[in-house]
C-alpha cells in the first residue's frame, strides 16, 4: 500500500475523549480507566529487528507458495452465505426476557454490527449476479468499523455524573443497578475498537472472495479512498489487509487519504462544507429523538430511579445508560447496561435513532441530498470515464482533476466513509423505496416503517454497485445496487422502472443520475438561510421543497 500524500496531512492524530485520562481508575463509581499498548517509551527498534527478528523474506524457508485462481463467488456460487452473528461479542438479554427470537443487537441501529438485510422489497433476490449476466465492474462504499463514542457524548457525561455523585458520598446503587457502585468507564473516543478492526478485515476478505476475479482486469494498481480521521484510515488499512493479505497489501494498491476538516472539499465527509449540516437544520434529528425519548423512556426512568436513591436520574441519563450498552459491547465484549431494558424499550431505542437519521441525516432533512450529490457526480464520472469540470458541490477539484488520484478506469472502486454519508447518498441517488413508508411520526412507531437505520448504515455497512452485461459480454449494459447484501429497487430513478433482479439499464441509470445532479440545489440547500419545521414541513427526498 502506498499512501498518496501530496494532498493530505502527513500524519493522523489519535483522538481521545477529554473524559478519559491516563492512569488507574479511581476508587469509586464512574471513574475512568484506559490502557495503552505498547507501553510508554517502548518502540520496536531497527537494531533489534535486524539482529534478532528478521522478516519472512530474510528468514526464507517459506515452503511451497503456488497461488490459486482468483475467486468470484458472487458469480459462481449457487448461494451466498449471509453475514450473521457478531463473534466474539456476548449476546445481551432484555430485562423482561420475553422472547428467544428477539436480539437486542438488532435494535442498536447505526451502533449495530452489520448483518445481512434479507430484502428491500424484491422477493427472492440476492446479491448473487443474476443468471446470464457477467460482472464487469464493482463499486464499494463502506462505513468504518465499530468505534468508541464521539468525544464528549452522553456515555462519558453519564460516567462523569456518576463519578461526581460517588465522590460526594451520595451515590448508592441497589438492585439491578448495584453494579454501578464499582463500575468504571473504560471507553475511549472516536477510534476503532478491536471488534471494529475485525469487521473491516473480514469485509476485505469477503469482498476478495466475491469480487477478486476483477483484479485480472487491472493494468496498474488500484487507488482506493478514505478520509484522514484515524478510524477511517484504520478501517481502510484493515480492509486492504483482508483483501490483499497482510504480507502483500502494502505493495498492492495506493491509499488516498482525503483531509476531513472544515475548509477541504471531500465527498466522503461532505458535511464540513455544508453550513446547514452544522446548525439548527441539522439539529432537527436530535429534536425528533428527544421528543420520542420523552415518550418511550418514561417508564424506564421511573423504574430505574427507584434503585438510585439520592441521585437525580433524568430521562437523558437513562438514554445514556441505554447507549452505553452497544458502545460497551462492541468495545469490551459485554455490557451490564443491556439487561436493564425491556424488549419494547429496545425497539424504542432503535426508533429514536431512526428518527435522528430521518430528520437529521436522511430523507426528512432538506440539506441531506446536497451532501450526497458530490459522490453521485464522482460516480457518473467513473461510469462514463469523463473528467469532472464543474465544481459547485463538495467534489475536490484538485483530486478529481488528476488521473493519478482519481482514476476513471478501475474494475474495482473502494471508498470508505461514515454512516451519515451513506444515509445522505441514498436519497441523493433517489432510492425512494427506503422512504416509501413516509415521514416518521414523533410519538409512535408506525407499522409501515420502511426506513430503518440498522439496515442502512450499521458499523461496517456496505453499498455495492454491480456493473453488469446482460446477456454476458464485455460491454456493460446494466447496473444494480446492493445495500448490506439486500438488493435495492431502482424504481425511484427516472428511466429505471421495476425489475425483479433490481437491474437498470446502464444508460438509463446514468441519465437518471445526471437528472438528480441537476435537481439537487447544493448552493441553496446547504447555504440558504431558511426555516424547516418537524411538524409542518414534510419531505422524503432530502431536499428543501421548491
Residue spans per domain, the chain: 1-546
Give dist(CA 155, CA 321) in Å, integer.
7
Encode 353-366 in three state secondary structure.
HHHHHHHHCCCCCC
Q: How far, in Å, CA of 360 to CA of 366, rounded?
A: 9
Q: Which residue has the cell 496531512?
A: 9
Find, among 377, 487, 367, the residue nearest to 427 by Cα. 367
Question: Can you tell me the distance from the alpha carbon of 200 to that of 528, in angstroms, rounded to the nearest whole number?
Answer: 38
Q: What's the CA gap between 214 and 212, in Å, rounded?
A: 5
User: At the top level of CATH, which class does the domain 1-546 belong to?
Assistant: alpha beta
Q: Give CA–CA dist 112/146, Å, rounded.
A: 8
Nearest-angstrom CA–CA distance, 194 and 432: 35
pTM of the entire predicted model: 0.93
As a whole number of angstroms, the distance between CA 179 and CA 462 comes to: 37
Tens of each residue's pLDDT in the chain, 546 residues: 665 543 333 222 332 333 333 334 345 688 888 888 888 888 889 888 888 998 888 899 999 989 899 999 999 999 899 999 999 999 998 988 766 789 999 999 999 999 999 899 998 789 999 999 999 999 999 999 999 999 999 999 999 999 999 988 888 999 999 999 999 999 999 999 999 999 999 999 999 999 999 999 999 999 999 999 999 999 999 999 999 999 999 999 999 999 999 999 999 999 999 999 999 999 999 999 999 999 999 999 999 999 999 899 999 999 999 999 999 999 999 999 999 999 999 999 999 999 999 999 999 999 999 999 999 999 999 999 999 999 999 999 999 999 999 999 999 999 999 999 999 999 999 999 999 999 999 999 999 999 999 999 999 999 999 999 999 999 999 999 999 999 999 999 999 999 999 999 999 999 999 999 999 999 999 999 999 999 889 999 999 998
Amino acid at each position: 500500500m502506498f499512501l498518496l500524500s501530496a494532498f493530505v496531512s502527513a500524519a493522523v492524530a489519535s483522538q481521545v475523549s477529554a473524559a478519559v485520562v491516563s492512569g488507574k481508575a479511581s476508587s469509586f463509581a464512574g471513574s475512568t480507566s484506559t490502557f495503552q499498548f505498547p507501553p510508554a517509551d517502548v518502540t520496536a527498534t531497527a537494531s533489534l529487528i535486524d539482529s534478532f527478528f528478521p522478516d519472512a523474506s530474510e528468514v526464507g524457508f517459506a515452503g511451497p507458495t503456488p497461488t490459486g485462481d482468483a475467486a468470484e463467488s458472487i458469480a459462481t456460487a449457487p448461494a451466498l452465505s449471509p453475514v450473521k452473528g457478531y463473534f466474539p461479542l456476548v449476546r445481551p438479554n432484555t430485562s423482561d426476557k420475553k422472547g428467544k427470537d428477539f436480539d437486542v443487537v438488532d435494535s442498536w441501529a447505526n451502533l449495530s454490527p452489520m448483518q445481512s438485510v434479507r430484502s428491500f422489497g424484491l422477493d427472492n433476490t440476492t446479491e448473487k449476479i443474476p443468471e446470464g449476466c457477467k460482472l464487469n465492474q464493482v463499486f464499494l462504499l463502506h462505513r468504518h468499523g465499530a468505534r468508541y463514542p464521539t468525544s464528549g457524548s452522553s456515555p462519558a457525561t453519564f460516567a462523569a455524573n456518576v463519578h461526581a455523585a460517588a465522590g460526594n458520598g451520595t451515590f448508592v446503587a441497589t438492585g439491578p443497578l448495584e453494579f454501578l457502585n464499582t463500575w468504571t468507564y473504560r471507553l475511549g473516543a472516536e477510534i476503532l475498537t478491536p471488534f471494529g478492526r475485525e469487521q473491516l478485515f473480514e469485509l476485505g476478505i469477503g469482498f476478495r472472495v466475491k469480487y477478486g476475479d476483477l483484479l485480472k482486469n487491472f493494468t496498474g494498481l488500484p487507488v482506493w479512498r478514505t478520509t484522514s480521521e484515524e478510524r477511517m484510515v484504520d478501517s481502510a488499512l484493515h480492509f486492504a489487509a483482508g483483501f490483499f493479505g497482510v504480507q502483500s497489501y502494502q505493495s498492492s494498491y495506493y491509499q488516498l487519504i482525503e483531509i476531513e476538516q472544515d475548509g477541504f472539499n471531500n465527498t466522503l465527509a461532505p458535511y464540513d462544507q455544508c453550513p446547514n449540516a452544522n446548525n439548527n437544520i441539522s439539529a432537527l434529528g436530535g429534536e425528533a429523538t428527544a421528543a420520542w425519548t420523552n415518550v418511550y423512556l418514561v417508564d424506564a426512568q421511573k423504574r430505574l430511579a427507584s434503585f438510585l436513591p439520592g441521585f437525580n436520574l433524568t430521562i437523558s441519563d437513562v438514554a445514556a445508560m441505554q447507549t452505553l450498552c452497544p458502545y460497551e459491547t462492541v468495545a469490551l465484549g459485554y455490557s451490564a447496561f443491556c439487561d436493564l431494558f425491556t424488549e419494547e424499550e429496545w425497539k424504542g431505542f432503535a426508533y429514536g435513532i431512526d428518527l435522528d437519521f430521518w430528520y437529521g441525516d436522511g430523507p426528512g432533512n432538506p440539506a441531506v441530498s446536497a451532501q450526497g450529490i458530490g459522490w453521485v457526480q464522482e460516480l457518473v464520472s467513473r461510469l462514463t470515464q469523463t473528467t469532472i469540470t464543474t465544481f459547485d458541490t463538495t467534489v475536490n477539484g484538485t483530486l478529481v482533476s488528476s488521473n493519478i488520484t482519481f482514476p476513471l478506469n478501475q474494475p474495482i472502486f473502494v471508498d470508505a466513509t461514515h454512516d451519515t454519508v451513506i444515509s445522505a447518498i441514498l436519497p441523493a441517488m433517489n432510492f425512494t423505496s427506503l422512504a416509501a413508508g413516509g415521514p416518521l411520526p414523533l410519538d409512535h412507531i408506525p407499522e409501515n416503517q420502511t426506513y430503518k437505520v440498522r439496515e442502512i448504515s450499521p458499523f461496517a455497512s456496505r453499498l455495492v454497485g454491480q456493473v453488469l452485461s446482460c446477456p454476458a459480454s464485455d460491454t456493460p449494459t446494466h447496473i444494480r445496487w446492493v445495500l448490506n447484501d439486500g438488493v435495492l429497487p431502482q424504481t425511484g430513478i427516472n428511466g429505471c422502472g421495476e425489475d425483479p433482479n433490481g437491474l437498470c439499464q446502464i444508460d438509463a441509470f446514468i441519465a437518471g443520475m445526471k437528472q438528480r445532479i441537476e435537481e439537487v440545489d447544493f448552493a441553496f440547500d446547504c447555504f440558504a438561510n431558511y426555516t424547516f419545521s418537524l411538524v409542518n414541513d414534510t419531505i422524503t427526498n432530502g431536499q428543501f421543497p421548491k
